[in-house]
Structure 1
Amino acid sequence: MKTTVLLFSAALFTAGLSAPAFAQFPGMGGAAQPKALPGTAGDNSPKGTAKITGYVVDSSLTKAVEFASIALYNKATGKAVDGTVADDKGKFTLSKLVAGNYKALITFVGYRTKTVDSLTVSNGQTLDIGVIKLSSSVKQLNEVVVTGQAALIEEKVDRLVYNAEKDIAAKGGDASDVLRKVPLLTVDLDGNVSLRGSSNIRVLINNKPSTIVASSVADALKQIPADQIKTVEVITSPSAKYDAEGSGGIINIITKKNSLQGLNLNVDSGVGNRGSSLSLNGSYRKGKAGFTLGGFGRGIYNTKTDTDLEQTSQSNGVTTTTSQIGNGSSNGLFGQYNLGFDYDLAKNQSITAGVRYGVRNFNTLQNLVTRLATNGAVSSSVNRFVDAKNLSGTVDMNVDYLHTFKPQQEWSISTLYSRTDLTNNFDANLFGANSALVSRQRNLNSNVNQEFTLQTDYQTPIKKNQLIEFGGKAILRRVDSDYRYLFGGPTGELLTQNNNTLGALTYNQNIAAGYTSYTYTTKKRYTLKGGVRYEHTFIDASTKEGGPVGVGDYGVLVPSVNASKTFKGTTVKLGYNRRIQRPGLQQLNPNYNASNPQVITVGNPALRPELTDNFELGLSRTIKKTFINATFFGRVTDNAITQVSQPSDTLKGAIVTTYQNIGRQRAFGTNIFANVAATSKINIGVFFNSFYTRLTGQVTGKNGLSQELTNDGFQISGGSFASAQFAHGWGIQAFGFMQGNTIQLQGTQGGFGFYTLGVKKDIANKKGSIGLAAENFFANRFNIHTVLNSPQFSQVNDVYLYNRGIRLTFTYKIGKMTMEAPRKKAKSVNNDDVKSDGAGGGQAPAGGAPGGGTPRQ
């Protein structure tokens, strides 16, 4: 049939965290909401002992309508009391019903809604209503009266699910714009993501890792179009099935997949004063085979940054004061192109294959004026012009096989090869007091990041309320990183000065893992999920200048327990898990990023992994039209990987930032969010996050001497979200967010705020949409104020970001499709490891121009 639904709005380029918790309210929507699993939120109806069963089939083809929605209404009150989804054979069961008179509504996209009236049951009775035939209708969606909006937030025993496809403001932007609205997440203005204040998270795309995500989460998010994201899963308490990596948790971005028969093409575009985008996505499916081909490109421009740095450092008995002002601009092109294929080998077997290529071209120009004063007397003044290039190309190839024996019993084999070629270079020209070119510098830093993964998983139910899972996995990784520093006068060839200005890192990391997991659900709506995972890591690392790096092999046993209970409309969740955090190459790469010679970053190849114990208690409840969720969490990390800054021994006035395993980090806090369905078409969400963090440990200083540092404090953020749907296809959405100061080991990084407003209009019978969005239209710029202190230095850094913007978007769908019930496709590789380079809680360098390599280890 011809599908005519396409929700569209102006994509809002926002920053920070949003938590609009759209609960599933009875009767809100043209189709019934799936019945909540025992132990989850949303199943609040009274319980009895009656049952209603039946089958749903296609009236013309006489085949099962898989996953049709069944909603049960009380005939006397007209209110929805229960609901479920048919299985792959069209069978459904509504159980634990109170005796009474009911009617059932059966719906599925592409079919007319079917009403089964006068269903009377008594306690202990099982009523079989037999076969229900649905007839197709090409006008079905025009005939359904939508009385509310589907749930934007779903809560499960170990995660929160944000249904981005329900968000009308998901056009024209990228994945970072979507993640800013996801509960529990914070996305800063550079696109760095943190979960409950921790940037030690793992980001997956369709359950798969990618070397570009490991290289830079912020850059990877720019390559994913917002309107292609279906859901975002925030896994706060990962089970043993997931890799042990990611001490803060896991974020899984699920993109839209097409289960339609036929050929279609979607065109999405947007243009604004700071960025433009174009996306073309096509699909073709005939019988058992399906193909997808797509491409997305986004350009950013008119991005301006001002910096103001004041710092004082002491080295070798000399005190140097640095005063630096700068201004810069950046532009970039980001793209992602994919080709996919899936084939049903049999009714219960399928194979999936795909190739995805991502490209990033990001250029930054910056002009820095630096004045140095030694013991109070001005010693030099230099004007430095920096041209930095951050370029990469990533290819991911996967082949996956799935064999389903019966519902919930399946076996899968998954493979993935991923490679990223990454270049981070900069050229710097230095001008003297008379504006004459004095000298030139160049940093060449190239990286090749490769990975191959093979895994197998098996799960099977035990009776009707138990599930056991187990599997194994092997990951083979290799990173090669080379860097060179070249120097020269105003003319002539650039040359290396000595062996200290060139180097290389070779890092081989192989992981062998096995796990088992068990899930148990009781009749009294208790759910328990526990498991254990063991991972052994083999490391062979060396640097060109220093030889082998003394990081030995290590193994870790990772337990996890999640439990939930629903009673009197309130769901309580408890969770505990242990996680390991391996250092990423940003932390390992020994290349000196000296695009700003006063604020230098360098990796530490000798870093060891950190180990974190996570605890959480969650409460959620629906009170009339308001959904409330509150989570209290604790996190204790040993051997924590943290940024440490110290004065340079060789560069006057410079501060060098590296990474060390400092000792222990503690964090305790709460996340609260609520959503109010003011009317069937208006939703309002508010959120608040607060936690206390304390960092303490021994820091290795100059000459190998250690120093104990401690810092603590509260971090607070919050905001609000509102959306409304109107007649004739009009919609509007607003979002605002404020982030407070971030606690670091040696100081604090300043907060920021963001707000957006967007409006959209459906056109051409919902085949297309046009929209307009604006962000920060009252403020000209934001200031991020960072203060760092130690006995040897003090630094005050102000970064001013100009991000006032407006964007016009357009989308249109071409093609004629027919609907077929979705089949389960082969599972894919899910590598949940490697510490990201997200700077959440990290220092904001005054230079602002990337120069160091950041590939995956």
Structure 2
Amino acid sequence: MKTINFPFFAFLVYFLGVSNLAATPKEVALVSGKISDQKGEPVPYANVALVDLGGALVDGAVSDENGVFKIESTKTAKVKLAVSSIGYQSFSSEAFDLSPGLIKDFGTVSISDEMTGLDEVTVKASRPEIIIEPDKTIINVEGTVMAEGSNALDVVGRSPGIYVDQEGNINLNGRSGATVMINDRPTYMSSTDLANFLRSMPAENIKSIEVINNPSSRFDAEGSAGVINIQLKKNNVDGVFGNIQVGGQYNGQFAPNAGMTLNLKKGKLSTNGTLNYNEYAVYNDLEINRNFTVEEGISNFNQDSRITSRYKTPSFNGSANYEINKNQNLGLNVQASSSTDTNNNSSLTVVTNPGQDFNNFIESTNESEGKRNRLFTNLHYDAKLDTLGSKISADVDFTIMDNESTSLLDNSYWSGNDDPSASYTDKILTLNDMYYTIFTAKVDFTKALKGGKTFETGLKGSWVESDNDLDLSRAVNEGPFEQDPNSNRFIYNENVLAGYASLKGSFNEKLSYQAGLRGEYSDIVGNSVTLNQVNKQNYFNLFPSFFVQHKVSDKYQIVYNANRRITRPNYRLLNPFVYYIDPLTSEQGNPNLKPQYSSNFEMNHVVNGAYQFTIGYSVTEDAFMQVFVQDQEERTTTTYTDNFDQTRNANFRAIVPVEIKKWWSTSNMLQVNYNQFQTQIGEDLLDVEQVSYMVRTQQNFTLPKGFKMEVMAMYLGPQIWGQGMIQGFGWVDAGVTKSVMKDKLSISVNGTDLFRTQLIRASIEFADIDTSFRQYRSNQGVRFTLKYNFAKGESFRVKSDSGSSEERNRLD
């Protein structure tokens, strides 16, 4: 094993030293921003207040002559930001947690001229409102330009530290394995299904995205790269709200989409329903060049493929919440989707063998279709035990997934010398049925303690069963189909019981902390019915987490966090199946795949509540990685997922938003990663390391006549991934939005990969493998969206009474 010696540790020692040299005043929360009118002019001397959920004043300030406000508070409460000024419509934000150490920048808040009807009021922010908390970064999407004409996958991919690749896989801080949640609940979907589901969800329905690089013990330990939590909008005011939108995308093929969202709140009952239909069409041009070393020399296989796919996904997301009383709520959430896909993979392979003056040819067509049905239900209850934040909640989830697919691989072989004995055909028919049931139940308890401390604890159980039936059959030279020995039925059961406890408080006036411990017991049984092979695993693990927030000054804070995480194998990967992609390539499962464990550390420097400079380090044991193996005799390639002995990642991330002009703002990100992979593959040792980087800039423009434009450019430097090396590439996206009819109707046009530069080139040169890839997925395209907003309800009013003073005094 190589000894790692790089500047990360020097930076760590330096920043730790600097952070302890500064004297720090009493810790406060800092809430800031700028108030402007619809023309972008500052609104001076506006009343800006933090009010609790009962409407009582917590703290406040008045904006200065430039519309800028800053509120410093030592209090802890669930609050909203309320803005009022004579001649303008009042503004109220979504609720957020106020506590010492919080730095929250609202950016520019635009308020409208005084109006009489709520259905005529729209508040838009010129850039996403970013909240930096000790354990997460929150990007508020609601009302921002980035939500116009986009889907959920687009918005997730533009969030700090996140990259979504061409296949829809989500990477966080240069690492795969991030857990994606919706409204604090896991999605329980494969990466492909999740990508299609997020593509079908309009960004207009999203309130915020929480990026949690190192989750606390309250979260499942699953997901070595962290957690991305998508919070959907909720209706907090009596009335009816919603939108209707239609659109489409063209990238050589046209794919339509449409959706409707309806929110209704009447008294104690609030409901939300979203119905969407989304089509996603894509083609993939792939060239693979493989060299096989044989006794006579080098045998070359040059394969050109075009893969066309179309996904159709109708989906529904509905919720209902009943306020039993002012302290108790009962809720129900239902998600349903039914996705169908059709695929055609056509390829021609030219084979050049040493000592031959002619070529051999393989023509292949793989036609497949699939259907994926998913139903998720959640019943939840929560109760506030006092007005200081003590609460209890309970959730019960049940998920059913029913997937089926059919594929027919048709291969033709012939020789360039017209030898009839070298000409033949074969076919492989694959039928694959997968059925999953997932049941989870959990309870969480939070107690506010004396001295501003908070104690959290909870229990959770999950029970998973999957049944995967893979039926393979072959036919040669138009003969009958016969059963293939690689057919297999695989039944998988996974039971996980977990408990956690955490404590949040302050060491002193300048240092606050959150420490937690989570324990998880896993009982797993994988049963290959066909092979009569049963694999059992059971293990107990502890997952500590620790956060320290150091407020150096009002404009500078440092957050340290560390934790341990686990990623369990995907159910499908444990199935000892064999799936034929084409006559030269197959994929197989690995029943011996073990969970991967990662230990993570991160230090985040926050300046002026907006600029972030982060360094992190992680070590992953038994890391999942795709492995390629060649059969020199058969001249075929097999890929499977295996455990690498150890991977190491060190990263530096800088996020720098800049307001250049009132009409021009920009957000910029630089991420540098050091990756090392080490493992034994067969008789060969893989030990590689590399520094890679990612640069992204996003430019937002407010133009005359109500137009708004966004331009995003991104570049990924060369990077290693397992045995392979991926060359650098970049692309540019742009979009324009125009609102009319008093902001009720918006028209959005977005262009992706404008210069057709999102070209992937990769190679594997390891052991006896000599393979290169060249791939372009149909990323260049144009998307348009028409959206109509409607709203009818009651105006926001601030109450003046307070009911928490007695309990606050008892805790002091």
Same fold (TM over 0.5): yes
Change (3 A) 1:113 1:322: closer
- CA drift at 1:307: 1.5
- CA drift at 1:683: 1.1
Change (3 A) 1:690 1:559: same
Residue in structure 2 matched with residue 830 of structure 1 by the alignment: none
Change (3 A) 1:238 1:107: farther
Kept in 2: contact 1:72–1:105 (CA 8 A): no
Is 1:477 the counterpart of 2:460? The answer is: no
Aligned ranges 1:679-718 → 2 under 5 Å: 679-699=661-681, 701=682, 706-718=683-695
Query: Match for 2:468: what amino acid?
Result: S
Q: Answer with 715-724 or 422-431: which moved more.
A: 422-431
Residue in structure 2 matched with residue 329 of structure 1 by the alignment: 308
Is 1:563 the counterpart of 2:542? The answer is: no
Query: Match for 1:696: what amino acid?
Result: Q
- CA drift at 1:807: 2.2
Kept in 2: contact 1:172–1:269 (CA 8 A): no
- CA drift at 1:791: 1.6
Q: Residue 309 of structure 1 aligns to a residue in which SS?
A: strand
CA distance in 2, matches of 1:139, 1:679: 32
Aligned ranges 1:530-549 → 2 under 5 Å: 530-549=515-534
Aligned ranges 1:174-193 → 2 under 5 Å: 174-193=151-170
Query: Match for 1:616: what amino acid?
Result: E
Change (3 A) 1:503 1:566: same
Kept in 1: contact 2:35–2:68 (CA 8 A): no
Q: Residue 579 of structure 2 aligns to a residue in which SS?
A: coil
Match of 1:389 among 331, 347, 369: 369
Is 1:299 the counterpart of 2:275? The answer is: no
Change (3 A) 1:76 1:368: closer
CA distance in 2, matches of 1:333, 1:788: 34
- CA drift at 1:531: 0.5
Change (3 A) 1:381 1:287: same
Residue in structure 1 matched with residue 195 of structure 2 by the alignment: 218
Q: Answer with 520-529 or 798-807: which moved more.
A: 520-529
Between Structure 1 and Structure 2, how many residues are aligned? 729
Is 1:429 the counterpart of 2:406? The answer is: no
- CA drift at 1:83: 5.8
CA distance in 2, matches of 1:149, 1:108: 23
Q: Residue 189 of structure 2 aligns to a residue in which SS?
A: helix
Kept in 1: contact 2:649–2:674 (CA 8 A): yes
Residue in structure 2 matched with residue 798 of structure 1 by the alignment: 774
Match of 2:34 among 24, 27, 36: 27
Residue in structure 2 matched with residue 643 of structure 1 by the alignment: 626
Query: Match for 1:163: what amino acid?
Result: N
CA distance in 1, matches of 2:740, 2:796: 26
Match of 2:116 among 138, 144, 152: 138
Query: Match for 1:341: what amino acid?
Result: A
Residue in structure 2 matched with residue 279 of structure 1 by the alignment: 259
Aligned ranges 1:319-358 → 2 under 5 Å: 320-358=299-337
CA distance in 1, matches of 2:131, 2:545: 22
Q: Residue 212 of structure 1 aligns to a residue in which SS?
A: coil
CA distance in 1, matches of 2:191, 2:760: 26
Aligned ranges 1:496-511 → 2 under 5 Å: 496-497=483-484, 500-511=485-496
Q: Residue 242 of structure 1 aligns to a residue in which SS?
A: coil
CA distance in 2, matches of 1:109, 1:789: 69
- CA drift at 1:774: 1.6
What fraction of aligned residue pairs are identical, expressed as a percent?
A: 21
Is 1:811 the counterpart of 2:787? The answer is: yes
CA distance in 2, matches of 1:431, 1:642: 33
- CA drift at 1:483: 0.5
Q: Answer with 172-181 or 427-436: which moved more.
A: 427-436
Aligned ranges 1:435-474 → 2 under 5 Å: 438-474=425-461
Match of 1:254 among 231, 234, 239: 231
Structure 1-normalised TM-score? 0.79
CA distance in 1, matches of 2:651, 2:458: 34
Kept in 1: contact 2:631–2:637 (CA 8 A): yes
Change (3 A) 1:681 1:648: same
Kept in 1: contact 2:657–2:666 (CA 8 A): yes
The answer for unaligned runs of 5 or more in structure 1 is 1-22, 32-51, 58-63, 93-103, 115-135, 824-857
Kept in 2: contact 1:264–1:815 (CA 8 A): yes
Change (3 A) 1:353 1:437: farther
Match of 1:372 among 343, 351, 364: 351
CA distance in 1, matches of 2:700, 2:306: 37
**1:638-678 CA-partner distances (Å, limit 9, x unpaired):** 1222221111378x211111122220101112011100012
CA distance in 2, matches of 1:641, 1:534: 22
CA distance in 2, matches of 1:183, 1:658: 31
- CA drift at 1:281: 1.2
- CA drift at 1:85: 12
Q: Higher RCO, 1 or 2 (CA under 8 Å, sep at least 6)? A: 1
Change (3 A) 1:631 1:78: closer
Residue in structure 2 matched with residue 100 of structure 1 by the alignment: none
Kept in 1: contact 2:35–2:67 (CA 8 A): no
Match of 1:632 among 615, 625, 630: 615
CA distance in 2, matches of 1:231, 1:53: 22
The answer for unaligned runs of 5 or more in structure 2 is 1-29, 39-46, 93-113, 800-812
- CA drift at 1:354: 1.8
Residue in structure 2 matched with residue 760 of structure 1 by the alignment: 737
Change (3 A) 1:616 1:495: same
- CA drift at 1:441: 1.9
CA distance in 2, matches of 1:734, 1:554: 49
Query: Match for 1:508: what amino acid?
Result: N
Kept in 1: contact 2:115–2:121 (CA 8 A): no
Kept in 1: contact 2:307–2:343 (CA 8 A): yes
Match of 1:400 among 377, 380, 384: 380
Query: Match for 1:634: what amino acid?
Result: Y
Structure 2-normalised TM-score? 0.83
Residue in structure 1 matched with residue 291 of structure 2 by the alignment: 312
Residue in structure 1 matched with residue 763 of structure 2 by the alignment: 787
Residue in structure 2 matched with residue 129 of structure 1 by the alignment: none
Change (3 A) 1:56 1:74: closer
Q: Residue 577 of structure 2 aligns to a residue in which SS?
A: coil
**1:79-104 CA-partner distances (Å, limit 9, x unpaired):** 52316799999999xxxxxxxxxxx9
Q: Residue 211 of structure 1 aligns to a residue in which SS?
A: coil
Kept in 2: contact 1:316–1:649 (CA 8 A): no
Match of 1:670 among 649, 652, 670: 652
Residue in structure 2 matched with residue 270 of structure 1 by the alignment: 247
Change (3 A) 1:53 1:786: closer
Change (3 A) 1:224 1:724: same
Q: Residue 247 of structure 1 aligns to a residue in which SS?
A: coil
Kept in 2: contact 1:591–1:603 (CA 8 A): yes
Is 1:621 the counterpart of 2:599? The answer is: no
Change (3 A) 1:235 1:821: farther
Kept in 2: contact 1:409–1:460 (CA 8 A): yes
